[in-house]
Amino acid sequence: MADLLSLSSFLFSIITFFFFYFLSVHGDNSTQSSITQINYDLYHSSRNLMDEIKEMVHRHSDRLSMEKVKAGNKGYSAEIAVVTYCKGKKDSAENPKLRILLSFGQHGRELITSELAFRIMSILSEEKHLPGMDEASLNSILDKVVIKVVPMENINGRKLVEGGDLCERRNGRGVDLNRNWSVDWGKKEKDYDPYEENPGIAPFSEPESQIMRKLAVSFEPHIWVNVHSGMEALFMPYDHKNTTPDGLPLQQMKSLLEEVNQLHCQKRCMIGSGGGSVGYFAHGTATDFMYDVVRVPMAFTFEIYGDVTAPSSDCFKMFNPTDLASYNSVLDDWSAAFFTIFKLGPHQLGEIQSKASVVKLDKLVSIDEYLDGYLMERRNRYGKKIEVLELGMQEIRAYYRLFLLSSVLLLCMFCSRISKTKCSRPIVSAISL
């Protein structure tokens, strides 16, 4: 009996030992594997990507061009590359084209978005083939558009990610570039986290946002898409409140998004206003500014990929596909989605143009003030009327001041005449009183 007891306690000790040993080994592995590193077999480094884009533009100078725009303040500077696609005749009054502005990589950790930019440019240059699209159809679509692509809006933030800070989404000095725009800027929700959403010290405090604002105001796009990752969604304005625009703009945007969802997202994508669908309000976003201030008729934020099973500390996995099959499927699906937008967009051009001509007349009121920033904050979609009224008031004030000044001068002249004739007092002393 004693032997039996000692044997069973020996066995129990061995089982316990192996149990804890297995647990400790497994535990270590799970900690190590919970942080996925950037897979450079799939992804370009930021430097490689920009070099490859530059070479591609050189190879196709008949349709692609690239400019680099720099800005900076307080010891911080940023540079943004903008690639323009325009084939054949240039956009003009006689030859109007649909103007499309696309931005990728606004958040450093969302590497897949810049890969998509590269894929779209490869198809535009015809170095890559878009499945299901023959050359003639592609050319007829692309003759009607001018496309500006910002492949990596936040290159400084992206470099921090490549340096090992895999969860960084902000720019090189800790500001979230999608909270630094002037529409409803700076408002903070209860769960505000400065590591995620720091809006900066003022609207457009950041060089990257200043560059993007100038680009949008000068280009006047008909379509704007801000491309992100973290989930699968097709958002329209507004991000800062739980409503969408109404009437024709809503119909135009909604029908386009529904088509994209059906054709390229297998109806998985969430559609609606950013603020109403994502579960939180975002204040000071680029898309709300594009719609409200630049008056882009169709302004969107696309979320192209998200791994909801990834732990929140495993940012590379949460925001980017980690295996070849899902990497390719995201790029195939979403590049096709963008070409559907290029194809369907011109069908609405007539309607958009009549709307745009009204906007252009509207914009005759001081473009410098428009760029200045202060007035922007006070504007909404109907804010232009307020500004016109304000200009009227300024004129009345100026006339009133002129009237007062001439009255004083007349009074002085009158006094001087009296003083000369009666008591010879100098004019200066009369004004100084």
* 44-63 positions binding Zn ion, by CB under 5 A: none
Query: Measured between alpha carbons, how far is 301 from 232 in angstroms, rounded to an integer?
Result: 11
Smaller CB distance to Zn ion: residue 142 or 282? 282
Q: Is 240 one of the binding residues for Zn ion (CB under 5 A)?
A: no
Alpha carbon of 430 to those of 235, 284, 401, 414, 427: distances in Å?
69, 55, 20, 11, 5
Least distance (Å) between residue 249 CB and Zn ion: 24
Instruction: Find out whether 320 and 305 touch, Cβ atoms under 8 Å.
Output: yes
* 358-397 positions binding Zn ion, by CB under 5 A: none
Least distance (Å) between residue 197 CB and Zn ion: 11
Strand-strand pairing, 270-273 and 223-228: unpaired
Q: Which two tokens stand for residue 292?
A: 């409200």
* 305-344 positions binding Zn ion, by CB under 5 A: none
Smaller CB distance to Zn ion: residue 107 or 158? 107
Question: Judged by CB under 5 A, which of 228, 264, 283, 343 binds Zn ion?
Answer: 228
Smaller CB distance to Zn ion: residue 145 or 265? 265
Smaller CB distance to Zn ion: residue 108 or 207? 108
HEC string of 147-174? EEEECCCCHHHHHHHHCCCCCCCCCCCC
Query: Measured between alpha carbons, how far is 276 from 279 in angstroms, rounded to an integer?
Result: 7
Least distance (Å) between residue 250 CB and Zn ion: 24
Q: Which of 361, 423, 353, 280 is nearest to 97 (CA)?
A: 353
Read out DSSP for 177-190?
A: TTS-SSTTTT---T
Number of residues that bind Zn ion (CB under 5 A): 2
Smaller CB distance to Zn ion: residue 119 or 228? 228
Least distance (Å) between residue 35 CB and Zn ion: 20
Smaller CB distance to Zn ion: residue 104 or 370? 104
Least distance (Å) between residue 239 CB and Zn ion: 12
Least distance (Å) between residue 317 CB and Zn ion: 15
Query: Measured between alpha carbons, how far is 101 from 235 in angstroms, rounded to an integer?
Result: 16
Least distance (Å) between residue 301 CB and Zn ion: 9
Q: From 222-230, 293-301, 322-330, 353-361, give the range in contact with Zn ion by CB under 5 A.
A: 222-230
Least distance (Å) between residue 376 CB and Zn ion: 23
Smaller CB distance to Zn ion: residue 106 or 252? 106
* 181-220 positions binding Zn ion, by CB under 5 A: none
Instruction: Find out whether 308 and 232 touch, Cβ atoms under 8 Å.
Output: no
Q: What are the backbone angles phi and psi of residue 7, rounded to the nearest 5°?
A: -65, -45
Read out DSSP for 371-415?
A: HHSHHHHH--TTHHHHHHHHHHHHHHHHHHHHHHHHHHHHHHHHH
Q: What are the backbone angles phi and psi of residue 335, rounded to the nearest 5°?
A: -70, -40
Q: From 60-68, 227-235, 263-271, 361-369, give the range in contact with Zn ion by CB under 5 A.
A: 227-235
- Sheet of 76-85: strands edge to edge? 64-73, 76-85, 145-150, 98-104, 223-228, 298-305, 231-236, 270-273
Smaller CB distance to Zn ion: residue 153 or 184? 153
Smaller CB distance to Zn ion: residue 142 or 183? 183
Least distance (Å) between residue 148 CB and Zn ion: 20
* 101-120 positions binding Zn ion, by CB under 5 A: 107
Least distance (Å) between residue 275 CB and Zn ion: 15
Smaller CB distance to Zn ion: residue 158 or 228? 228
Query: Measured between alpha carbons, how far is 89 from 374 in angstroms, rounded to an integer?
Result: 37
Q: From 35-43, 100-108, 126-134, 137-145, give the range in contact with Zn ion by CB under 5 A.
A: 100-108
Q: Interface with Zn ion by CB under 5 A: which residues?
A: 107, 228
